[in-house]
Chain A
Amino acid sequence: MKEQVFAAVLAISAVAAPARADEAFVANQTGDDLTIVELSTMTPLATIPIGGKPAGVAVSRDGSRVYVTSPEGHFLSVIDAAARRVAKKIETGGGPLGVAVSPDGSRVYVADMYGGGLIEVDPATEATRRVEIGAMPAGVAATPDGKTLVVAARDDNALVVLDAKSLVRLARIPVGRHPYGVTIDAEGGRVYSANVESDDVSVVDLAERRLVANVPVGSHPYSVALAKGRVFAANQYAESVSVFDARSLKPLATIKVGEYPESVAASRDGAVIYVVNWFSNELWSLDAATLKISAKAATGDGPRAFGAFIRAVN
């Protein structure tokens, strides 16, 4: 039933929201900068220097701010998306990697990979709170209502579920080996983790805090995107995107992409999937319905863009 509602919501939103000139904020880790790509034409618009080997990206829901983590520089960059400039840098210490923004934009959540914790940052005051997660926290995501956070404790092979307000741990759910990217669906019902070492995607029921299934994908999946009732996983070693049905969990396709794809994200209307290819320095778009590659854009060197890197422009 939940999945049917999910599919129906996607179908309605696909009709209601025509394609707009949205943008991708692609953090280039080797290049130490960030490429902004205009998505209707797949044209690079600007390059912003970041430093500290940027990796994680999270765009605020209103599209005004983009947060970028620099694990080697130990800071979080706050980017004014419209002005295309760094508004400020906030020291976090440790190894900031995965990042997510609360739906109201008031809090930013940063996974500290080296320190084993999650850091909550108030981007306005720069006040922080910290909670221990486990070994090598990687991806982080917030539910659409902002009440719950999910963090991948990579080397613990588990997802940690937190209450966003209190940062109290609600559950620890064992998944596949080395979960990296985590993605929560539009209704906050399910969370998906890409498990790098076990070559599968874990599907977890968030309300029941229960593993539903580990779905096999290609070699070394790093991240997951959701669109059209389908799950898309970027397989870094296989250099492909695996697609399976979100309801039946049955495989639908394997799409060959660029070299060492790491990050994948959906357009807000669910029509297009964007794939960041780390080795070949490209952003690819593919049609979420036909599963055909539609366009390619050049990025900087070593693009990671780990997280929700698509900015909705209204």
Chain B
Amino acid sequence: MSPRVFFRVLAVALLALTPLAAFGHGATPQKVVETMEIDAPPAKVWAVVGNFQDASWLPGVVKWEGEGGVTPEVATRRLYLSSGATIDERLVQYDDAAMSLRYLMEHVDINVLPVGNLSATLKVSPKGEGSLVEWKSRFYRAFPGGNPPERFTDEIAVQAVTNLFRSGLTALKAKVERQ
């Protein structure tokens, strides 16, 4: 199942449930680390992922807007997904020399991505003749209490973020290597 189809199926399944409060999360922080080798120099990759205001490389994002450039704590962006949902993110760290940035997901419809308090780091490093991109994140499942419903477990949250990162890195690789 492609990540996009996965999200659509997930969204339909989750919409049937009683809406949960967006506030709060589980007790166990989760981690996801995904990497991708790209056959292009690090600077060329960083030119794409380092442009926080341009999210065109992310699959499923049909429109984006933002302000604040790449100034930590100031820069924000809103991603409009093909499903109609939106994601609000804030840049909190930006190191141009190290080719690394970190952002927080400040708002997301948990029917689209069943997570809370997500922070993520994107880093580009040299690898042989090309680049290695690492995308890693700390987050919680969206359900705030113990014994979450089946669709809001830690495992579902990890699966959703893993799929998001894998599809994002695959699309990034295709875009940069095409350029």
A6 at the interface (CB under 8 A from B): no
Q: Which residues of A contact B30 (CB under 8 A)?
A: 30
Q: Are A55 and B31 in contact (CB under 8 A)?
A: no
Instruction: Tell whether, in the assembled complex, residue A30 and residue B146 are in contact, meaning their CB atoms are under 8 Å apart.
Output: no
Q: Does B62 contact A (CB under 8 A)?
A: no
Note all chain B residues with C-beta closer than 8 A to A94: 146
Which residues of B have CB within 8 Å of A72? 27-28, 146
Question: Is A254's CB within 8 Å of the partner chain B?
Answer: no
Q: Are B92 and A114 in contact (CB under 8 A)?
A: no
B145 within 8 A of A: yes
Is B136 an interface position by the 8 A CB rule? yes
Whether B145 lies near A114 (C-beta < 8 A) is: yes
Q: Taking the complex as formed, is B4 at the interface, i.e. its CB lies under 8 A from any CB of chain A? A: no
Sorting the interface of chain B by its residue count into under 10, 10 to 19, 20 to 34 or 35 or more gives 10 to 19
A235 close to B (CB within 8 Å): no
Is B166 located at the chain interface by the 8 A CB criterion?
Answer: no
B111 at the interface (CB under 8 A from A): no
A-B contact number at CB 8 A: 39
A250 to B161, CA, bound (A): 41
The answer to whether A217 has its CB under 8 Å from any CB of chain B is no
Interface residues of A in 109-155 (CB under 8 A from B): 113-114, 136, 155
Please name all residues of chain A whose beta carbon is closer than 8 Å to the beta carbon of B24 when the two chains form the complex. Answer: 136, 155
Partner pick for B146 among A74, A278, A302, CB 8 A cutoff: A74
Q: Does B138 contact A (CB under 8 A)?
A: yes
Give the residues in chain B near A224, CB-CB below 8 Å: none
Asked if A237 and B146 sit within 8 Å, CB to CB, the answer is no
The closest CB in chain B to the CB of A55 belongs to: B27
User: How many Å lie between the Cα of A10 and that of B126 in the bound state?
Assistant: 48
At the interface, yes or no: A35 with Cβ under 8 Å from chain B?
no
| B32 CB → nearest A CB, Å | 11
Q: Tell me if B29 and A237 are in contact (CB < 8 A).
A: no
Interface string of A51-85 (1 = CB under 8 A from B): 00101000000000000000110100000000000
Contacts of A29 in B (CB 8 A): 28-29
Residues in B neighbouring A279, C-beta threshold 8 A? 31, 136, 138
In the complex, A236 Cα to B28 Cα: how many Å? Answer: 15
Query: A127–B29 Cα gap in the complex (Å)?
Result: 31
Minimum distance in angstroms from B105 CB to a CB of chain A: 13
Report A140 CB to chain B, min CB distance, Å.
15
Q: Which residue of A lies closest to B30 (CB)?
A: A30
* Cβ–Cβ contact B27 & A237, under 8 A: no
A229 CB–B CB distance under 8 Å: no
Q: Are A71 and B28 in contact (CB under 8 A)?
A: yes
Contacts of B92 on A, CB cut-off 8 Å? 219, 237
Q: By CB atoms of chain A within 10 A, which of B27, B31, B92, B146 has the most?
A: B27
B27 touches A53 (CB 8 A): yes
A29 to B30, CA, bound (A): 9
Q: For A219, list chain B residues within 8 Å (CB).
A: 92
Q: Does B119 contact A (CB under 8 A)?
A: yes
Q: Which of B31-85 contact A (CB under 8 A)?
A: 31
A73 to B, closest residue via Cβ:
B146
Determine if A278 and B28 form an interchain contact, defined as CB atoms under 8 angstroms apart. no
Whole-angstrom CA separation of A53 from B28 in the bound complex = 7
Residue of A nearest to B73 (CB): A219
Q: Given A71-B146, A72-B146, A279-B138, decide whether A302 and B27 contact each other with a Cβ distance below 8 A.
A: no
Q: Tell whether A237 pairs with B119 under 8 Å between CB atoms, given A55-B27, A95-B146, A113-B27.
A: yes
Residues of B within 8 A of A136 (CB): 24
A284 at the interface (CB under 8 A from B): no
CA distance A113 to B144 in the complex (A): 10
Given A74-B146, A95-B146, A279-B136, A114 and B27 contact (CB-CB distance below 8 Å): yes
Q: How far is the CA of A29 from the CA of B31 in the complex (A)?
A: 11
Since A113-B27, A114-B27 are in contact, a sample of 10 more A-B pairs with Cβ atoms closer than 8 Å, ordered by chain A residue number, is A29-B29, A30-B30, A30-B31, A53-B28, A55-B27, A95-B146, A155-B24, A219-B92, A237-B102, A237-B119
Per CB-CB distance, the 6 closest pairs between chain A and chain B, nearest first, are A71-B27, A114-B146, A53-B28, A95-B146, A114-B145, A95-B27
Give residues in B with beta carbon < 8 Å to A: 24, 27-31, 92, 102, 119, 136, 138, 145-146
What are 19 contact pairs spanning A and B, CB under 8 A? A29-B29, A30-B28, A30-B30, A30-B31, A53-B27, A55-B28, A71-B28, A72-B27, A72-B146, A74-B146, A95-B27, A95-B146, A97-B27, A114-B27, A114-B146, A155-B24, A237-B119, A278-B29, A278-B138
